[in-house]
Amino acid sequence: MTERFAAPLELEEALTILAGDSAARPVAGGTDLVVAARQGRKPLPESIVAIDRIAALGRQGSEDGSLVLGALTTHAWLATATSVGQAWTALADAAAIVGSPATRGTGTLGGNLMNASPAAETTGPLVIFDAVASLQAAGGRTRTVSVAELATQPGRTIATAGELLTTVTIPPVADRSGSAYIRLEYRRAMEIAIVGAAGLVTIVDGGIVDARIALTAVAPTIVRAPEAEATLRGAAPGPDVFAAAGRTAADHARPIDDVRASADYRRAMIAVVVSRALAVAAARATGEPVAIPASRWIAPPEGQPR
């Protein structure tokens, strides 16, 4: 039961409260928190610090070609921002399928990351883009960590008590690159990924010079697939190459069992979603338009435009 509540307007005020109250938990959109409490999975924190009114956390900007996102950046913003859709398209793909329209309008990037769910949609794209998160504590103490290293297990991150995620910085992608996020889903509303894959490919002179793959909902944290990435570098893009990379990713994965899918089913589906994500990423890398979100994209009959 919540006993203490604060709604600071300044970042340092919020950090001071967090430093002085070991039970305090920061809350922004509250979408995961409220659902967990209503379902009886996790009680509301004893002390809540609402950070949704802190203007410094809601800003977006650019710095030396990198995209800098405040922790309060919503999924709705990510799904519709022109800069994200053009350069970091996989992130737009992921944000566009988070929950419902209401969830996307209130749920935040910072909350998605700090909730540390292995099924978090935006984390995989941030991992393949080598994104970095800034963690700040009272007194101006700040450190940066790779998004790939932020989560340590479901619901846990490397952030210490009193630290708050303030910004996420995404470096520019190389020229002739394309990316995509594909989620296996049973329905097209309020779904949680059974398996997801984020793919990034860079194609120069008809060959793949760089490839990155991150897998969602197949391990306690979101993970890269380095063996599959290695099979792509130096290869010519095509369905057979992408299918082989998908099989390699599946062969080296150690998927989890849970109430939504068995490990064997997840392993079989890894090959499918990885192949699809790479195909869309390659299409985008060569200038072929594929609508956001890629998970809702269905190939038309041959000869018809996509």
pLDDT in tens, 271-299: 999 999 999 999 999 999 999 999 876 54
The average pLDDT across 156-179 equals 96
Higher pLDDT, 44 or 271: 271
Nearest to 162 by CA among 192, 141, 177: 141
pLDDT in tens, 23-32: 888 988 776 6
Give me the pLDDT at residue 305, please. Answer: 38
Do 306 and 273 form a contact (C-beta atoms < 8 A)? no
Written as one string, the DSSP assignment of 101-160 is: HHHHHH-BHHHHHHTT-TT-TTHHHHHHTT-EEEEEEGGGEEEEEEHHHHEEETTEESPP
Give me the pLDDT at residue 304, please. Answer: 37
Q: What is the pTM of this model?
A: 0.92
Could you tell me the pLDDT band of residue 36, with boundaries at 50, 70 and 90? low
- Beta-carbon neighbour count of residue 229 at 10 Å? 22
* Distance, CA of 300 to CA of 67 (rounded, Å): 33
The average pLDDT across 221-243 equals 97
Give me the architecture of the 177-296 domain, per CATH: 2-Layer Sandwich (3.30)
Which token pair is 205? 């002179």
85 contacts: CB under 8 Å, gap ≥ 6? 92, 292
Assess whether pLDDT exceeds 70 at residue 88.
yes
Helix (H, G, I), strand (E, B) or coil at 235: coil
Higher pLDDT, 185 or 282: 282
Give me the pLDDT at residue 172, please. Answer: 97
Higher pLDDT, 295 or 177: 177
Give me the pLDDT at residue 301, please. Answer: 39
Give me the pLDDT at residue 251, please. Answer: 96
Higher pLDDT, 305 or 150: 150
